Amino acid sequence: MKKLDRKLFGDVCCWFKTFISIIVFLLAVAVAVFPFFIYYLTRSIPKLSSELTHRLPTTIIPSNYRLYIDSSQLEQFVFHGTVDIDIQINKIVNEIILNSFDLNITGVRYQQNDTDLFSYGTVEYDNVYEQIRLKFSHRINIGHGRVYLSFKGRINDQLHGFYRTKNHEHIGACTQFEAAYARRAFPCFDEPSFKANFSITIRAPKHLTTLCNMPIKSKHADDNNTYTYEFDSTPIMSTYLVAYVIGHYDYVETRDSDNVLIRVYTPIGKKEQGLFALTTAAKILPFYAEYFGIKYPLSKLDMIAIADFGSGAMENWGLITYRETYLLVDTHISTQKTRQEVALVVAHELAHQWFGNLVTMEWWNDLWLNEDNFASWIEFLAVDHVYPEYDIWTQFVSDTLATCMIPDALQSSHPIEVSIRKPSEIDEIFDDITYGKGSSVIRLLHAYIGNEAFRRGLSNYLAEYAYKNTITDNLWFHLSKASNRTHLSDVLSTWTKQIGYPLLMVNQEQRGNDRLLTIEQTRFLADGTRDDSLKWKIPINICTKSSPNSSVFQLYLNGEKKQEFLLKQVPDTEWIKLNLFSVGIYRVHYPQSMLEALTPGIQNHTLSPQDRFNIQTDVYALARAGHLGYVDYLKLLRYAYKYEDNLTVWKSIIRQLTELSSIFEYAQLNNTKILYQSYVCDLLSNIYNKIGWDALPNEDSQIPMLRSLILIYMGINAYDQTRIEAHKRFENFSMQNNDYHLINPNIRAAIYLTVAKTGNQQTFDQLKSLYLKADTQEERIRLLTALCRFDDEYFQRQALIFIWNTTAVRKQDHLTGFASLAQHNRQGCEMCWTYMQNNWNKIESIYGRHDSHLVHFIETVPGLFISKERAEEVQKFYTNYPNPYLERSVKKVLEQIRIRRLVLERHELSINEFLNVQ
C-alpha cells in the first residue's frame, strides 16, 4: 500500500466515526425539535393557503398573447374568443395554472417548442382562487411552448371585466381590468409582474367604433354586419392594462408636439365636449415626456368617456377610459370646477402611462406609491404647468391633505404601506388615506429634496425599470442618490409604515434676541386620547412675521420625543409659524399667546392661504379632539377669518362648519341650531356681499368656485337673501322655457339646492323633469343632488324612490343621491339608514360584495349618527350582514359616531352660551 493510501484509509476511518457522530447528533436534534417542527408546519399551513395560493406559481412565464375576441353578438351580451399564449416552462410540471373566472373554457391544447404535436388537455376550475388548472396526459418539459385556449363569456353588467354600457338606446361594451378582472374576459396570468406582449384581434358590429390599446393594423369585412380588426402588438405590459371598447362614439383629434395622435371619444353628437380634455392632454403629454426624460412610447393615445363607469378613470395603455363627468366639458353647462377636475384626472391618468404602465409595481403592495399616489401628486404639478391661473397647489391642501388627515386620526386608520394578500383587498385600501396621505408624503419629499433632485431621481428610476417591475425601495434608492441623502427611506418609512401622524406641542421662550423653541411629539388622535408609542422623523419649516412666505428656519425632529431648538436672531416682536405652506403632515398645538400673535397675519393676509388654512384646520382638529374649546375655534373664525377671500381656506372652513351643523341636528338645547345658523350666515356675509351672484369682469378662475361654495352654503343655512334671489332666478328660468343660457353653470347648483330646500310638489316635478331631460351627466348629477335636498319628509320619500329607479339613475350614481339625502338632515339620514338595513342584500348584489361603493354607503350614512343606540344598530347590522371587506369601515363608523357624541357632550353648552351673547 502506498503511503498515501494508508493515510487515506486512516482518514476514511476517522471520517466514518465523525459521520456516525454527526448522524447521532442530528437524530437527537431532530427528536428534540420535531414537536416544534410539527407546530411550525401546522401553524404555517393556513397561512400558506390563504396568502400564497392566490398567487400563481412562477414556474411558467408568459411572454406573448394572441387574443381574439368575437363580440359580434354584443347586443345579446355574449362573447367568445381564443387566446394563444407563448410560455416558458422553468420546471417540469404536470399542469398549467393560470387565472380565469366566470368563463366557460371550450378548448385546451398545448404545443411544445414549435413542434407540430399538440396535446389536448382538460380543465379544472377553482372558483375560490379564480384559477384554472390545465391537465394533460403527460408531463410538460422545461422549455418553450404555447397554450391554446378557446372560451365563452357574458358581457356582464357589473362595471368590471368585459361589461356592457348603454347610452340612450345604443348598446356598447368595454373593459375595466384593474385590479384583477382581466381574468373575467380571457384566461391569462393576471398578476402585474407577468408582463407580456399582446396582439389583439376583435370582431365587432360594423356600425360601431372598435378601439383597443394600439392602433389598427388591418381591418376586414367578415360579412354584411361585422368587421374584424387586427391591432398592432403592444409593448411588454401587465394584463390589468389591456383594454377594448366597442360602441357608438364621435371623436376630436390632434397631435402633440412629439407627434403623438391624441383623440377624445365622446357620445355621438357631442364631440365639442372633448375639446378641453384634448387640448389639456396635448400639453401634458409632452410635459411628462420632458419631466421624466422618456418619450410617450406609443404612437396614439385615445381617451374615451364611458356612460357606465364604476370608478373615476382608468389608465389602460393607449386607451384611457373615463366616467363622462371626468372627461367631458360643455361650454354652456360645465362649471369651472368640472374643468379643473377634468384637467386633474387627465393629468393623473397620463402620468400612469409612465408610472404604472411603463414601470409597474411587482405586486399590489407597492401600489400606494408607485401608482395612484404618485399620480395623485404629479397631476397637480402638470395642471399647475398648463393652467397656472388655477392656483392648483394651494387647493391641494384642502382637497387632498385635509381629507386624509381626518380619517388618519382615527384608531381604525391604517398605514399606507400595507400587505396585500389577494387582489380583492386592494379596493379596501383605496381610500382617502391611501390616496391623500401617499400624495402628501410625496409633496413633502419633493419639498424636502428639491425639484431638480426629485426629477433626476425619478427619471433614472424610470429609465432603469422601463418595461419591468419594481418595488418602492428602488425609487427611494434613486431619489436618495439624486439628492445625496442616504437617510431618505428612514425618514419616509415613519410616514408610510406607521399609522397616523403626529401632534406637535410647541412652547417658546425669549432668550435675549433668540427664541428657544421646545417641540414635543405624540400621535394625534381624533378623540383626544394620548398615544406616545409612535414617533416620526419630521422636517419642520418655519416662517416669521418679517418673512412670512419663506422658510427662515429648517428644523429636523429626528424621531425624538422632545427636542429644543434655539432660533437665532428672532426678536420678541416676531411671531413664528411652524409648517410653512402646510407641507408637513402634522398638527401644531400652539400656546394661546403664540396663536394670538398669528391673528394679524391671518387678517391682513400676509400669511399665505395655505398657512391661513393650516392654522384654522389645526385649531378645529384640536377642538374636536378636546384639546381646545370649540368656542376658541368659533372666535378665531370670527376675528381672523371674517374677511377671508380665498377658495381653499373657505373650503376648509365650510367643511368644518358643515360637520358641526350635522352634529347640531342632534342638539340637546332647542335653540343651538338656530343660533349656530345665524353665526354661520354672519361669518359668511362679508364674502357673500363681495362676490355676489354674477361673474365680475376678469375675475380669477377660483372665484366662480368660491361663489358656488358660498351661495350653496348660505342656501343650506336658510339665509333670506339667498333664498329670495335663488327663487327669483329659478322662476325666471322656468318662465323662459328652461333656457340654459339664463343661468351661469357655476351658480346652477346653488339655485337648484336652495329652491329644493323649501320646495313643494311643483318644484320637485320641475327638478325631476329637468333631470330626465338633461343632456349631460354633469347636469344630471346636480339635479339628482338637489332632488334629495327637500326639507319636507314627503319629498324626501319621493327622492328615495327616485334614486333607486334604475331606468332613470345609473348604477354608478345611486350613491350620490343617497349621500345627498343622508347629509341633508337627521330625517333624511334616518330614512337612508332604514333603507340600507332593509335592502342590503339588494345593494350588495348590485355592486358585488367587494366593491368600494359598499364602503361609501357604510361610511357616509350611519357615520352621521351620534347616539349609542345607533352605534349598536351599526354593530348589529354588521353581525346580520357579515362581510370582512367592510370590517374596517364599520370600525371607522363606530369611532366616528363616538367622536361626534363626544363633541356634542363636551361642547354644546359652551357653544350655546357663546352664541347666545352675540
Residues acting as catalytic residues? 349
Using the rule CB under 6 A, is 349 a contact of ligand BES?
Answer: yes
Q: Which of residues 163-192 bind ligand BES (CB under 6 A)?
A: 178-179
Pairing of strands 197-205, 226-231: antiparallel
DSSP readout, 618-630?
HHHHHHHTTSS-H
Going by their DSSP bridges, the two strands 587-589 and 502-511 should be labelled as parallel
Total interface residues for Zn ion by CB under 5 A? 2
φ/ψ of residue 87, rounded to 5? -130, 155
By CB under 6 A, is residue 345 in contact with ligand BES? yes
Toward ligand BES, which CB reaches closer, 240 or 771? Answer: 240
**Least distance between Zn ion and beta carbon 172 (Å):** 24
Q: Which of residues 515-574 bind Zn ion (CB under 5 A)?
A: none
Q: Are 610 and 646 in contact (CB under 8 A)?
A: no
Specify burial of residue 224 (Cβ count, 10 A radius: 0-12, 13-18, 19+). exposed
What is the Cα–Cα distance from 793 to 795, expressed in whole angstroms?
5
Q: Residue 30, exposed/middle/buried by CB under 10 A (0-12, 13-18, 19+)?
A: exposed
Q: Is 441 near Zn ion (CB under 5 A)?
A: no
* CA distances (Å), origin 199, targets 230, 241, 245, 904: 8, 13, 16, 61
Burial (Cβ within 10 Å: 0-12, 13-18, ≥19) of residue 168: exposed
Residues 283-312 that bind ligand BES (CB under 6 A): 311-312
**What residue 256 binds from Zn ion, ligand BES, none (CB within 5 to 8 A, per partner kind)?**
none
Q: Which does 740 bind (CB under 5 to 8 A by kind): ligand BES, Zn ion, none?
A: none
Q: What do you get for the CA distance between the two ends of the chain, in Å? A: 116
- Determine the interface stretch with ligand BES among 368-376, 383-391, 611-619, 877-885 (rule: CB under 6 A): 368-376
Instruction: Give the amino acid at 496.
Output: T
Q: Look at residue 128 and give its three-state secondary structure.
A: coil
Half-sphere exposure in the Cβ direction for 684 (13 Å, CA): 32
The answer to whether 265 and 305 have CB atoms below 8 angstroms apart is yes
User: Under rule CB under 5 A, which residues in 158-187 are in contact with Zn ion?
Assistant: none
Q: Is 348 annotated as a binding residue?
A: yes
Within 10 Å of residue 528's Cβ, how many Cβ atoms? 14
Give the residue among 244, 240, 222, 218 at the shortest CA–CA distance from 231. Answer: 218
Segment interacting with ligand BES (CB under 6 A) among 345-353, 618-626, 707-715, 777-785? 345-353
Q: How many helices (H) and strands (E) does the chain have?
A: 29, 29
Q: Binding residue per annotation — 371?
A: yes
Ranked by CB distance to Zn ion, the top (closest) residue is: 372
Grid coordinates standing for 413? Answer: 386608520
Among residue numbers 316 through 375, which ones bind Zn ion (CB under 5 A)? 372, 375
Q: What is the nearest approach in angstroms of ligand BES to the Cβ of residue 399?
A: 11
Contact partner, 215, from Zn ion, ligand BES, none, Cβ < 5-8 Å per class: none
For residue 803, state whether it binds ligand BES (rule: CB under 6 A).
no
Whole-number minimum distance, CB 355 to ligand BES, in Å?
10
Phi, psi of 637 (to 5 degrees): -60, -45
Task: Select from 188, 196, 212, 313 the one that contacts ligand BES (CB under 6 A).
Answer: 313
* 363 sits near ligand BES (criterion: CB under 6 A): no
Confirm or reject binding of residue 330 to ligand BES (CB under 6 A). Answer: no
One character per residue 34-73, x = contact with Zn ion (rule: CB under 5 A): ----------------------------------------
Q: Is 800 in the site for ligand BES (CB under 6 A)?
A: no
Nearest to residue 681, comparing CAs of 621, 721, 724, 726? 721
Residues 202-231 as x/- pattern, contact with ligand BES by CB under 6 A: ------------------------------
In the complex with ligand BES, the residue whose CB is nearer, 176 or 744, is: 176
Q: How many residues bind ligand BES (CB under 6 A)?
A: 16
Does residue number 382 form part of the binding site for Zn ion (CB under 5 A)? no
Q: Which amino acid is at 480?
A: S
Residue 239's nearest CA partner among 365, 62, 11 is: 62
Residue type, 291: Y
C-alpha closest to that of 887 among 849, 838, 861:
849
From the CB of 354, what's the least distance to ligand BES, in Å? 13
373 binds ligand BES (CB under 6 A): no
Q: Residue type for 211, please? A: L
User: CA-CA distance, 273 to 540, in Å (whole number)?
Assistant: 45
Distance CA 660, CA 911 (A): 11
Q: State in angstroms the smallest separation of the CB of 524 from ligand BES.
A: 26
Q: What CA–CA distance (Å, rounded) separates 590 from 505?
A: 7
CB 131 to ligand BES: min, Å: 20
Under the binding rule (CB under 6 A), the answer on residue 86 touching ligand BES is: no
Task: Kindly tell me the burial class for residue 481, based on how many C-beta atoms sit within 10 Å of its own C-beta (0-12, 13-18, 19 or more).
Answer: middle
Q: Which does 211 bind (CB under 5 to 8 A by kind): Zn ion, ligand BES, none?
A: none
300, 348, 814, 900: which one contacts ligand BES (CB under 6 A)? 348
The minimum distance between CB 255 and ligand BES, in angstroms, equals 24
Give the containing element (helix H, strand E) for 41: helix 3-47
Q: What is the nearest approach in angstroms of Zn ion to the Cβ of residue 371?
A: 6
Cβ closer to ligand BES: 373 or 483?
373
Q: How far is the CB of 344 from Zn ion (least distance, A)?
A: 11
Say whether residue 425 binds ligand BES (CB under 6 A). no
Kindly tell me which of 373 and 521 has the beta carbon lying closer to ligand BES: 373
Residues at the binding site for Zn(2+) are: 348, 352, 371
Residues that bind Zn ion (CB under 5 A): 372, 375
Residues that bind ligand BES (CB under 6 A): 178-179, 311-315, 345, 348-349, 352, 372, 375-376, 426, 430
Residues at the binding site are: 348, 352, 371
